[in-house]
Structure 1
Amino acid sequence: MMAFGRSLLSFVCIAPVAFAFNNIPFRNLHRKVHLAPSNAVVGNTLDGVDVTVKATELDDSLGLSPEEKTVVNIHRVCSPSVVYVTSVLSSSSPVSTRTRRGRKKAESNNSQKQENKLPNGMSLGSGSGFVIDSEGYIVTNYHVVQRAYESNQAVLQYEKFWDDLAKNTTKNIKDKLSFSNSNVVDNVEGVLNRTVNAITGRENNETEVLPVGVFVRFGENGETDGSVTSYYYCEIVDVKKELDIAVLKIMESSDKMNNLLKPMEYGSSSNLVVGQSLLAIGNPFGLDRTITSGLVSATGRSVTGVAGNQIKNCIQTDCAINPGNSGGPLLNLKGEVVGVNTMIISASGSSSGIGFAVPGDSVKESADKIIELDKQRRLRNAKRKGRGWLGAAVATSSLEESLRKRLISSLKQNKNSDEVVGAFITSIDTKSPLMSQEGVSTTSITNGNVQIGDRIVSVGGNAIENAEAFVTEMKGRVEGENLSLTIENVSGERRVVYVTLGQIPL
């Protein structure tokens, strides 16, 4: 019986079924999260603005119970951050070849993007997503944008092949033939470039728009221009196939999006317990910002993702999850994201009370890294200094809690102080500034360099309580900055390390 259950689960994850509702295709992959106590306060801080809403603030004449008030307020606060995600293969953009006609049509396509219209073409998949950063970053499922991602990657690889061919050919000619006149070399290079442009359909080295566009909308009727719903063009920043997540970035001017970009907060998925309440918000069958409720049916489930690997610690829930919910958030009763709806088990393709969500802790860790690297890449392209890089990883979430408890227990046995603060170092990159002898200096308190397992208890004279405080502190540091770190080992001995922060590797 167990073998059959695992086989069925794997089948549903690997081979999602496509559905259509009003000509909109969806997939039945989903995730879930669990809910906190029913008397909780719903709250977030969005760009410094407190949007906390208390259940007691609803009109008593409605006759709602405290639990109902909480759910109502969570929907009011959180649903504006949930988006509908769709990808479109434009009828104007050829995939395998690019012609002059195709280029002119693509320019028409760009004007549609600027007017926030959905271009004409074939839909390649739709689902849900949610805002996680005020600069326009959105998390969704990888399988929601998988066909768009793979199509665009194929075109980029095609372009790269011809570009590399032109460069390598030019280099070989230069190496094998000796021209005294530099103009001859330039002429040869020009002929090669024009030949490549003719083969690929490019003119003047201008890059054609990618064939598949990804778009999001913030509710069917919430944000419109007149009677027309606005769609915003997105870049697929990066994907994490192993977790079935993708990070998108809205390419609209941030000034126009300030009222829409309300980041959602994460809660702890590792602290969920069976029986806790959960809420799922998404766009099942294209019905914007639909909310459903349920429980944590089980934790620690392993399911097979689209990459063929086992996604561990998934949350099983009985929240109604249907095609179109994929990529939407699962929330606790604080309105915090504890998972991303990603798949279901169902004979009919619709909700049967068995849904799964990728754990929010894993999603946050991966998405934060993707977003940070993308921000640094954009700063570097703009010739601006980015965030400083230390090259040391610290324990977070459940690992940090486990290490802290273990150390406190050890200190009590040795009758030492049981106060344990700081961020636990779990690894140091081989190219970290900490590995450079020029960047490491120690005080007379102890000899030796930073070791894995040490704790960073101070940065630049500012006390560090935990990993979260360390990450927050480092976000304000820039590359090239000279910084002092106070390190404490398991014996309680402290030393000061001086380091010059490097440039984040991309």
Structure 2
Amino acid sequence: MQMLACNSWPLQSHVGLTFFLGRRELLSSLCSNYAPINDAVSSHPITLKRTYQDGSKLVSEVMRYSIPSTTRRMLLTSFFLYLGYHPSRSAQALGDPSVTVKEVTPAVLPSGPLFPNEERIVQLFENNTYSVVNIFDVTLRPQLNVTGVVEIPEGNGSGVVWDGQGHIVTNYHVIGNALSRNPGPGQVVARVNVLASEGIQKNFEGKLIGADRAKDLAVLKVDAPEDLLRPIKVGQSASLRVGQQCLAIGNPFGFDHTLTAGVVSGLNRDIFSQTGVTISGGVQTDAAINPGNSGGPLLDSKGNLIGINTAIFTQTGTSAGVGFAIPSSTVLKIVPQLIQFGKVARAGLNVDIAPDLVANQLNVRNGALILLIPGNSLAAKAGLLPTTRGFAGNIILGDIIVAVDNKPVKSKAELYKVLDDYNVGDKVILKIQRGSESLELPILLEEKNS
């Protein structure tokens, strides 16, 4: 049980008066309004038959005869704390009175102009930050933890303005939770904050246009006025060199429009995306990329888009200096198809390739072994042969693809990686191993079955 403190002293010192006080009333009369203390005493009334000249003797006598010793100690402690920390008592002044505030205030120097490299980075940020948007999955909500810090859901990230029609490019996994519910085209899957020139973020509904899980890319559309949209400028990732400077703008941990800088640390990396697929040709950077940067741009020193930030290699969940971006060459290939068709048409052979484990069991160590070929496929018309069984039940190996247009193929994964650079209808030359023969067959690529 708690009791509140007060500033009053209600006891009166009139000679000859008889007091009937409860211990609760006595304690209430002695404590202040500021600090609660535990009521550890009984509330039964006590009778004082003696007369006193002043209230202080009364308090002392009551505490001596009528209150248990443990409670007296508690009460005395509270009483002296009240006297020592009462607001009316001022603390002892510290400091040096022989000096003035002006004397101990250092001179403030003007900042002066920025160095050329600083000015260039500032301009790059100011020119491109309006092309970066914040994206919030509509199925997720920020949560306030016990420390008062807002925890940003994993589905919150960044995106870039692709054109003046309101198309926004981001990662598939940024809106993955909403996409797992199989929304239809035009359905709202995210909230998109677009930065206006006056520094105010304006909120719009992000409607789904298309998504490609294999490349971890998605396209949304917002109904925003064209003068608010500032499309990103797209550069060539094919001409990147390790060591050149790059910058990332995004929404890490919910801190919108954050700039980080670094260099291109590596090229043609395999990115193990959060969608569970491997993306080839990734750009590695040491620019800090954290949760929330996903979907944001990686820019070169001219401010051109060279990649979409998508993943980090870390054991802590935060940046360890190893970040990855989907190259702009891949983005340029995927995004227009998503805008036009809502999906991506991939070129392929439409044949069944043996998994690496099966190929190894059949003693195929190099190349992609063909298991099955549909009878009506272009591969069958081109003359490719599948794996079959002989009359005695023995396995007769089919054709083994060892190169595509003189690009070596050592496994199933490498075949798909090579074919990913082609479009439906392209003609390629397959180098195959058929028994002891080495052959070259021309073939037209068709749309890969999903």
Relative to the length of structure 2, the TM-score reads 0.47
Structure with greater proportional helix content: 1
Greater Rg over alpha carbons, structure? 2
Q: Which has the higher contact order (CA 8 A, sep 6+)?
A: 1
The alignment's TM-score, normalised by the length of structure 1, stands at 0.42
